[in-house]
């Protein structure tokens, strides 16, 4: 193999530097993916809004903005936690509620919260969550939200009430789009 020497420490160092180089480059990937999505989906945005209720170019944007909001909230609340001794009882309660909301926001998504954190229209966010979800309890073998379902491993689960549990992965929108195209 190329680059392999007789020195294991040198090989390991070389490998780690290559991995670090790739990791450093990954931070811009979402922004680049948004640019690609915009180029692909935005020219037909009205079609997607009519058929799906949202534009697929907004999916990555929503996740990036929401994750940014969660990180900003964690930073803001972390600084407040450092001064917890100087806070009143009411401020303690408010801080606890805010902290709980930020922690839940990582996996428990609601259209209200996502519209707030992403700046996207509420109805489009709700359509996005609905299309990319399966009803919790609709599959008898599905015991906990993190399990792989018959729909795939990355779907969200609609929970009781207006919340969704987000899991990682993706599902194709193609069949739904084809069905909505004018014949």
How far, in Å, CA of 143 to CA of 159, rounded?
13
Residue 181 confidence (pLDDT) above 90: no
- Whole-number pLDDT of residue 145: 54
Residue 76 lies in a domain: yes
Residue 82 lies in a domain: yes
Structural domain count, the chain: 1
- Whole-number pLDDT of residue 57: 93
Q: Which ranges of the chain would DSSP assign to H, the alpha helix?
A: 8-26, 29-41, 45-51, 57-82, 89-104, 111-118, 122-131, 174-180
Residue 156 confidence (pLDDT) above 80: no
How far, in Å, CA of 117 to CA of 175, rounded?
29
- pLDDT tens figures, 99-147: 888 888 887 888 999 999 999 999 999 999 888 876 666 666 655 655 5
Residue 11 lies in a domain: no
- pLDDT tens figures, 24-79: 555 567 778 888 899 999 999 999 999 999 999 999 899 889 989 988 988 888 88
Which residue range is the domain that position 59 belongs to?
A: 45-180
Residue 121 lies in a domain: yes
Neighbours of 111 (CB within 10 A): 21
Phi, psi at 168, each rounded to 5°? -85, 150
**Confidence band, pLDDT 50/70/90 cuts, at residue 177:** very low
Residue 163 lies in a domain: yes
> Under a CB-based contact definition with an 8 Å cutoff, are residues 57 and 41 in contact?
yes
């Amino acid at each position: 193999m190329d680059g392999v020497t007789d020195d294991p420490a040198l090989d390991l160092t070389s490998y780690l530097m290559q991995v670090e180089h790739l990791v450093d480059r990954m931070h811009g990937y979402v922004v680049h993916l948004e640019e690609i999505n915009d180029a692909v989906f935005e020219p037909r945005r009205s079609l997607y809004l009519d058929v799906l209720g949202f534009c697929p170019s907004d999916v990555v944007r929503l996740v990036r903005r929401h994750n940014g909001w969660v990180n900003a909230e964690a930073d803001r609340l972390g600084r407040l936690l450092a001064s917890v001794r100087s806070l009143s009882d009411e401020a303690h309660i408010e801080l606890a509620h805010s902290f709980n909301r930020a922690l839940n926001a990582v996996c428990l998504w609601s259209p209200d919260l996502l519209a707030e954190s992403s700046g996207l229209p509420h109805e489009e966010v709700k359509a996005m969550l609905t299309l990319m979800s399966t009803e919790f309890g609709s599959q008898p073998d599905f015991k906990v939200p993190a399990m792989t379902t018959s729909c795939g491993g990355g779907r969200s689960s609609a929970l009781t009430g207006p919340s969704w549990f987000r899991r990682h992965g993706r599902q194709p929108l193609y069949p739904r789009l084809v069905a909505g195209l004018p014949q």
